[in-house]
Amino acid sequence: MFFWQLVVSGLSIGSLYALVGLGVVLLYRTSRVLNFAHGDLSMVSAMTAYTLITGAGVTFAGAAALTLLAAFAVGALFYFLVLRPVKDATLLGQIVTTAGFALVLGGLAVIVWGADTKAMPFPLSRFVWYDVAGLRIDQLTLGSFVVACAAMFLLYLLVQRTKFGLAMRAVSQNDAAAKVLGIPVRRVLAVTWGASAALGAVGGLLLAPVTFVSPAMMFEPFLKGFAAAVLGGLDSLPGVVIGGLALGVLENLFAGYVSTAFKSTVAFVAILAVLLVRPEGLLGRKVVRRV
């Protein structure tokens, strides 16, 4: 029973890793840019929600909705105002641009909110327990898993079941051909950046009661989300979900049976083991270059 208890809690935290990783993969699929500001944008979103709840008296649901809208707008504006003007830069130059944006967000967070840790008021509790098939699951773990899965399902519907999702897939395949076919490529990319930021905001809100709210709160979750993306395949949305869930379970099992001291290293050992066998990740596609 202890084994299954670890698996269930691992699936919950793994779903949050997957949620963070999905934002990274979503952008990489469409623009081939790795967004290193993703974690900091999630952190700022969580801090914004904290301020709305504690400073303005907004309910958690209202603060979450406003935060998601703000994150979407910031993500879209970042594409239009920063990335689009440097679209002719090298891929490394665009990645460095996102890293610079991350530093700006981190600095602003320290100036506005300070560097101390804050407790986020949250509607779900760690001290309310449910018995499910003989397992004890706290309300926060169960609720976080359900919300994360719902967010991932909504992303699946957007990408696979809507005309806009079809346009996103067309842009990811060949943006020049998509433009010739009349697809508004810039608008698609802007909305994709906004959707990625909103996904990150959901992840930040769900992680806030676990990591607490601080400028450094998303450092490790972002690394784990990025690890899940690499493990599953940077061009595969199902892959990052599998990668995130697998990492969460592996970490928990290692912490429960071996040691909590090296829990964070498990993710990178798992990546190394998988990439030695499949360099493209679990569900990634092989890239064949003709010369």
pLDDT along the chain (291 residues), means of 10: 88 93 91 90 95 93 96 94 81 87 94 92 89 85 93 92 91 88 91 94 93 91 90 88 92 87 79 82 65 46
pLDDT for the residue numbered 264:
77
Tracing tokens 């440097």 back to the chain, one arrives at 86
Q: Does pTM top 0.85 for this prediction?
A: yes
Tokens, residue 199 = 């996904």
Q: How many CA atoms lie within 13 A of 199 on its CB side?
A: 31
CA neighbours closer than 13 Å in the CB half-sphere of residue 41: 32
Distance CA 267, CA 250 (A): 8
User: Which amino acid type is present at position 167?
Assistant: A
130's CB contacts (< 8 A; 6+ apart) are 136, 137, 138, 139, 142
pLDDT of residue 289: 47
How many residues can be counted in the chain? 291
Q: What is the pLDDT of residue 286?
A: 66
The conformational region for residue 212 under phi > 0 = left, psi -120 to 50 = alpha, else beta, is left
Domains of the chain: 2-277 (1.10.3470)
The per-residue DSSP string of 83-131 comes to IGGGTTS-HHHHHHHHHHHHHHHHHHHHHHH-SS-BPPP-SS-TT-EEE
Confidence at residue 287, expressed as pLDDT on a 0 to 100 scale = 56
- Chain segment 246-288, per-residue pLDDT in tens: 999 999 998 888 888 777 788 778 878 887 888 888 787 765 5
Residue 51 near residue 113, CB atoms below 8 Å:
yes
What's the confidence (pLDDT) of residue 291? Answer: 46
Residue with token string 């709160």:
217
Helix axes of 139-161 and 237-257: crossing angle, nearest 10 degrees: 160
